Chain A
């Protein structure tokens, strides 16, 4: 879709600039007239929502950095000072803290959407991999950001996660020492985490640029997974999708605002309002909610190194997904069996999240006696997380490769316009009532 251009300079200045730096042409082609499939549903608005989240995090983060002090004996109080004495500091800090959670809610929906509609398949493999890189950078940024307030969970979370890296053979120890800036988590760690926490978002912004570039070469996938065939299948990005994305962003902001103004601390942990104390370990060290599924995978196996490898493997699997799925049909809308396994996959991820929040040896169903299986009772979170972990990896390495070879998909439409037209002819009223369900 790149290459064609409908931009016409309107004034002498625009003509003059267009011959020297065609930045207005570039903007018009990519942000205004870009041909976009007309059947994108609301799940496709999360790209714009994510861009907004990144913008909010960078703007609020830069302001916070003006007041924050990255020092082990001053960091905690400087954050509280932002909340108490900086004009609207409470707003900026709560936006930033809750913004991280909003960012992850949006990115998980965006990723599940890509998974469901086969947006990783040819010719969009690079687009998908760039997205995985963004996700990995987001995890690193969020983890380091959570360390900065230097509360109990910040400190002990940093100890746990950096020690994981130490369990890797050969490179583990030197990398850990390098991360710590010494021989334990301390002031030097805090200072370099602050530096990296400020750096990574701009790297994310750079990869987002590549992500959009890679998107604009083949153009958007769409809920049918069928390629755009003609001009009839598309609408210009502006005003059609600027207004639709704008509406979705505004609704997302309402949810964001509910957290910021009425439940600003509900997504965090009370222990992080206790200043860091290396001598007192909190009863349960848990990461923020968005990392809990990976934490559950880490703890699912008794061996630390294997746990670490599985945890990183869970993310690595995403990178090679385009070559694991053997089905030629993109959208799971036409793959009923795959759809079922996908739903179970989403459920497994949520269950893993719950597993990560609970101590592994605690009972899942209180008072329900079962039997001992290997090292633990069957009715414990550790066994549930093993089942979840098994399914997580089976989905990528077993179900998706085999299903593509064995299943019989439903017939896919000839073009994007075909199901659209038959759909509106059949049930216009119902379709209007729930536009997000429509193709």
Chain B
């Protein structure tokens, strides 16, 4: 009873920690279901692959993912993980994805800056060399890095999904939308610098999934969720073992406690 009370109090405190977002004047994000949610949730690998394709063909034109390496795509839980290739550097699919990119390197003979094909050990190349270049190409707005975007927003999955599918409504009277800006009611302030990125059939899914805006948004959010916390699935599996262990251990300790104290009035 006491423990339960403490746990409840702690959960209550958890809600405290997230301050009210009421005055950001954005709509609350849309509800959606995610296959990875809950203690037993798992990513759908086909969805992660589709999501990566959306990122690669659409988002990566403006958004970097500086914390991601090509090898991450082939690690356990990743979009292109295969049991056969425990070491993601051996994964032929990962290698072929990396090979399509050119990255800077130094020629060890001459010291000149040269271009070479990327390997699985390389980071995802950023679309712009620096912040100024990114702003110059985007009407002054800075496209945020997407490496941990889902962790970096309250209700990250719903928020990003709502932003991606939230274009198209007419702005409320009195809200002036300048050229190069767009109305999106889910974005704080309602005016966003991002061009509506998704369109039906803009990305062709290799597995034959119908390429709607909603599907593309859900898939890329699944991919970004995985990328924001690539060890989440491992964590939950580990957690199950830990919980079972702790429950049994607590039971044994309680039995010992009752036995040791049985002759003491207290």
Contact = CB atoms under 8 A, between A and B. Distances in A.
Interface of A: 38-39, 42, 77, 80-81, 83-84, 90-91, 94, 101, 105, 109, 235, 239-240, 243-244, 246-247, 250-255, 257-271, 273-274, 283-284, 286, 288-289, 292, 353-354, 357-359, 362, 417, 420-421, 424, 434, 436, 438-439
A75 to B, nearest CB: 13
Chain A at the B interface: SS class: helix
Nearest to B234: A90
B16 A354 contact: yes
Interface string B236-266: 1011101100110110011011001100111
A340 B129 CA distance: 64
Nearest to B22: A362
Contact of B231 (A77, A83, A269, A417): A83
Interface string B146-165: 01100111101000000000
Given A90-B231, A255-B7, A283 B24 contact: yes
Nearest to B254: A247
Nearest to A83: B231
Given A38-B266, A240-B264, A267-B14, A84 B231 contact: yes
A257 B16 contact: no
A115 to B, nearest CB: 17
Contacts of A417: 265
Interface residues of B, number: 55
Contact of A260 (B72, B229, B239): B239
Nearest to B144: A274
Contacts of B24: 283
A83 B240 CA distance: 19
B64 to A, nearest CB: 12
Contacts of B153: 270
Contacts of B231: 83-84, 90
16 contacts: A105-B10, A240-B260, A250-B246, A257-B246, A264-B235, A266-B14, A270-B152, A271-B152, A273-B228, A289-B14, A292-B16, A357-B18, A362-B23, A421-B265, A436-B2, A439-B266
B84 interface: no
Interface string B24-45: 1000000000000001000000
A262 B243 CA distance: 11
Nearest to A244: B257
A274 B150 CA distance: 11
A438 B264 CA distance: 13
Contact of B239 (A250, A257, A268, A436): A257
A261 B253 contact: no
Contacts of B229: 83, 90
For the complex of A and B, the 8 pairs showing the least CB-CB separation, nearest first, are A261-B239, A273-B152, A247-B253, A250-B250, A90-B231, A273-B151, A289-B17, A38-B266
B6 A105 contact: yes
B113 interface: no
Nearest to B230: A84
Contacts of A239: 260
Contacts of B144: 274
Nearest to A421: B265
Contacts of B256: 243, 247
B266 A91 contact: no
A83 B230 CA distance: 9
A233 to B, nearest CB: 10
B170 interface: no
Contacts of B1: 434, 436
